[in-house]
Amino acid sequence: MTLRRTVIAALAVLGALAGGGSAFAQTVLKAADVHPAGYPNVVAIEALGKKLEAATNGKFKLQMFPGGVLGAEKEVVEQTQVGAIQIARISLGVLGPVVPTVNVFNMPFVFRDEAHMRKIIDGPIGQEILDAITNSPARLVALGFMDSGSRSLYTKKPVRKIEDLKGQKIRMMGNPLFVDTMNAMGGNGISMGHTEVFSALQTGVIDGAENNPPTLFTSNQYTAGIKYYTQTHHLIIPEIFVMSKVTWDKLSKDEQALVRKFAREAQLEQRALWDKSVAEYTTKLKAAGIEYIQIDTKPFYDATAPVRAKYGAAYTDLIKRINDTK
């Protein structure tokens, strides 16, 4: 045996030991999420990993890197494209610049409500969007969607009517569509990664941001001067989880089928956890003194019409089918 082979063999033994004594080297699948351990998305992906490990007798082991330790979502996407990260759970928002079709789901008020969004992602249109990602040159295999509820505005100064937003610097996700959305509503949209928002709030670089209750709470942003949570529900963006095509192409057909099966289960499992978590964190935010402001969303809907016109122009058939889905 050459030294190289000896080393490889030794590594295989170590891998097998780590895998509970199975006879082959273990493949570690690195998974990334910006959310902390315990967040519904993180839990659902970990469960997918455990099932895959069990079903392949330990050939695969998923290692979750939560809390954004592998980078902001934009970087996570890039690393997944080259195969440095194997599974990424990200917002569909950051995929817009990479796969333009997905921007249809990223448009403000494109879904009537969360039930409408779920119906779409669970049905044929959802599958078409997953396929559009997989078949694009992005080198990502779309495995499934997750719920992210709706995004509403949170600020240091109250927004009780749309005019109150004027001039407020509001953080948006990194996609020009979202900056356009905020600007159309009268605010001043500033894009940055999720993990930068907390300190940007503290230093006054921004006056607020927008997100769902679990994110507002678990990111601790609500402790950085935020007092008001205005229920605009302007974006209902699904989450997505993808596998690097580099990794996918190395799987056997059977392994790919297992990943697909467990991915579908992860999508449904996350949803159950999600609903509980929205209720839980809404209670916690209110208990922490965050004032929920109910607001007429019509002015926000009307103000963002040009954004839907601009980004939806190339997808009128698809948008009609979304609207027609009852």
Contact residues for ligand BDP (CB under 6 A)? Answer: 34, 73, 90-91, 148, 173, 194, 211-212, 215, 239
Using the minimum distance from each CB to ligand BDP, give the nearer residue, 39 or 248.
Answer: 39
Question: How many Å apart are CA 52 and CA 59, to the nearest integer?
Answer: 9
Nearer to ligand BDP, 194 or 233 (CB): 194
Residues 189 and 179 sit within 8 Å (Cβ to Cβ):
yes
User: Measured from the CB of residue 249, what is the shortest distance to ligand BDP in angstroms?
Assistant: 26
- Rounded distance, CA 80 to CA 93, Å? 16
Q: How near is the Cβ of 173 to ligand BDP at its closest, in Å?
A: 5
Other C-beta atoms closer than 10 Å to the C-beta of 131 total 12
Q: Which is nearer to ligand BDP, 26 or 212 (CB)?
A: 212
Which lies closer to ligand BDP via its Cβ, residue 19 or residue 144?
144
Q: Which of 35/245 has CB closer to ligand BDP?
A: 35
Nearest to 251 by CA among 16, 30, 52: 52
DSSP 39: S
In the complex, least distance from residue 114 CB atom to ligand BDP, rounded to whole angstroms: 13
CA–CA separation, 164 and 63 (whole Å) = 45
CA distances from 267 to 15, 103, 131, 259 (A): 29, 20, 16, 12
Min dist CB 176 to ligand BDP, Å, is 15
Least spacing, CB of residue 90 vs ligand BDP, in Å? 5
Choose between 56 and 244: whose C-beta lies nearer to ligand BDP.
Answer: 244
Distance between CA 163 and CA 47 in Å, rounded? 45
In angstroms, the CA 201 to CA 164 distance is 18
User: Closest approach of Cβ 315 to ligand BDP, in Å?
Assistant: 23
Q: How far apart are the first and last CA of the chain?
A: 66
Tokens coding 175: 């996609």
DSSP of 263-310: HHHHHHHHHHHHHHHHHHHHHHHHHTTPEEE----HHHHHHTHHHHHH
Closer residue to ligand BDP in complex, CB, 60/281: 281
Q: How far is the CB of 50 from ligand BDP (least distance, A)?
A: 22
- CB of 171: closest distance to ligand BDP in angstroms? 8
CB closer to ligand BDP, 113 vs 254:
113
Q: For 97, phi and psi rounded to 5 degrees?
A: -65, -20
Pairing of strands 291-293, 228-235: parallel
